[in-house]
């Protein structure tokens, strides 16, 4: 973040193949050709079949085995002893030992969930629900081969991701990950560490997560994650959080902390409340947990998602730890000169986006605007010395790249000029999300050349220290 950079937001599932195969390596090559030095993705975690949301994962630490390339999927069913050379087996054993603090719980949870017909752990018999060692062993012993397959596929995922990251490093491309602040109730994390969450004696949440009414939802959003027991986490110096951020740094060069404001205060919604309107703010651990996170992650590697209802206290917390915030251009046009998303309020310590995975595509957004708001956009473009009549989405892409923000990230859908039908996610809805996939050969030489032209003129090619923009 000390250099001016340009990046693209594209989840792995949105590649033409939807996995970590050749398309992922070709996309890195596209970024390098386009002068971009950052690839931002969504969480790489195993999702639930009900919604496939990477923000509702079965584990905050594991890799999603569905991302393993088609060419390597056949390996997942092989017994480790029969499929690995001596050197590979040594590397495999060492990796499993290093990851044991989360891997063992994930394997138990996943194998048990399969054994009981994929029911959430709250519906398991008490011995399994409460992780009684004797009962867990009784159920898992007959499926020991399946446990070993699950372990092996995690290593296959890790190896394929390592190869991709090495390829990206060789092309000068940083990988930018995403860490949801909360974890799913039906997850290995909560099942194995119930003492770290605010749960009753049977594992049910006392209150659940969400946010009050905002730009996205008039009734607020009810996310239904359990809240952390911050006192319990503080007792061991936030060891769980240290492990979690260290795991992310194994995978990524940069990490975005989703819903950063939850560290300052989180919205608690009663279990029986029909909407998130009926919640209240509860203070979080603030500096204590941020000190642990920054220490474990290393300086200059974290970005704060500071969207929504951001108070001066939240902003001060972010600034105390030197975390860049986010600026969304689609939010800039409410007519207020004090709007923090206007380019003149960005500053170098920020990451600017046309929109994120939670926004409509820029073309879809533009088509939804009334003519008065469109005139605001055109006036701003003219004020910034840009062509007010340049077609969307390229006008907003150019505006983002011209920002003073150190990093400018453009969703792939905007580079491809796609409309609302290609939106990735609509917050507060349960269907139709996370399914968009880029067409084959979408990221071609012509597009790379067009992007590179913009990246060069805004001094963002592969990371430079030049300053330009508003």
For the annotated catalytic residues, the residue numbers are: 258, 305, 358
97 burial (CB, 10 Å; 0-12 / 13-18 / 19+) is exposed
SS (H, E, C) 253-281: CEEEEECHHHHCEEEEEECCCCCHHHCEE
Cβ–Cβ under 8 Å, residues 121 and 127: no
Q: What SS3 state is found at 170? A: helix
Q: Which long-range contacts (CB under 8 A, 24 or more apart) does 166-172 make?
A: 167/25, 167/28, 168/28, 168/39, 171/28, 171/29, 171/31, 171/32, 172/32, 172/37, 172/462, 172/463
CA proximity to 288, closest of 320, 312, 315: 320
User: Which residues fall within 8 angstroms of residue 160, CB to CB, at 6 or more apart?
Assistant: 20, 67, 68, 69, 72
Q: How many residues belong to the chain?
A: 470
């Amino acid at each position: 973040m000390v250099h001016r950079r340009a990046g693209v937001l594209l989840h792995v599932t949105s590649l033409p193949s939807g996995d970590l195969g050749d398309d992922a390596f070709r996309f890195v090559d596209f970024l390098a050709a386009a002068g971009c030095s950052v690839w931002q993705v969504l969480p790489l975690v195993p999702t639930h079949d009900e919604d496939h949301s990477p923000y509702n994962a079965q584990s905050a630490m594991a890799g999603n085995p569905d991302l393993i390339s088609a060419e390597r999927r056949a390996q997942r069913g092989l017994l480790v002893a029969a499929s690995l050379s001596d050197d590979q087996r040594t590397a495999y054993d060492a990796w499993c030992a290093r990851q044991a603090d989360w891997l063992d719980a994930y394997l138990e949870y996943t194998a048990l969930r399969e054994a009981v017909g994929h029911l959430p752990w709250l519906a398991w018999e008490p011995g399994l629900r409460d992780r009684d060692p004797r009962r867990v062993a009784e159920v898992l012993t007959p499926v020991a081969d399946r446990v070993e397959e699950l372990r092996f596929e995690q290593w296959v995922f890790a190896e394929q991701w390592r190869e991709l990251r090495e390829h990206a490093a060789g092309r000068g491309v940083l990988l930018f990950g995403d860490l949801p602040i909360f974890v799913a109730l039906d997850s290995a994390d909560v099942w194995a560490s119930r003492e770290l969450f605010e749960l009753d004696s049977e594992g049910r949440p006392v209150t659940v997560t969400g946010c009050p009414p905002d730009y996205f939802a008039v009734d607020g959003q009810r996310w239904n994650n359990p809240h952390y027991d911050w006192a319990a986490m503080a007792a061991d110096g936030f060891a769980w959080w240290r492990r979690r951020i260290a795991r992310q740094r194994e995978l990524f060069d940069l990490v975005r902390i989703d819903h950063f404001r939850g560290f300052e205060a989180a919205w608690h919604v009663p279990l029986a409340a029909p909407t998130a309107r009926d919640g209240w703010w509860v203070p979080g651990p603030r500096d204590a947990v941020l000190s642990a996170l920054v220490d474990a992650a290393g300086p200059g590697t974290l970005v704060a998602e500071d969207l929504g209802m951001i108070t001066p206290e939240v902003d001060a917390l972010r600034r105390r730890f030197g975390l860049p915030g986010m600026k969304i251009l689609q939010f800039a046009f409410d007519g207020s000169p004090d709007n923090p998303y206007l380019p003149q309020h960005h500053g170098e310590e920020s990451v600017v986006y046309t929109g994120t995975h939670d926004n409509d595509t820029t073309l879809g957004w533009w088509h939804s605007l009334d003519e008065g708001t469109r005139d605001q956009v055109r006036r701003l473009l003219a004020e910034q010395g840009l062509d007010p009549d340049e077609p969307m989405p390229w006008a907003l892409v150019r505006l983002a790249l011209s920002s003073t923000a150190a990093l400018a990230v453009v969703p792939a859908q905007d580079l491809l000029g796609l409309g609302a039908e290609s939106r990735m996610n609509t917050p507060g809805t349960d269907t139709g999300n996370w399914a968009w996939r880029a067409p084959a050969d979408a990221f071609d030489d012509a597009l790379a050349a067009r992007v590179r032209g913009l990246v060069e003129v805004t001094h963002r090619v592969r990371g430079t220290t030049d300053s330009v923009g508003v």
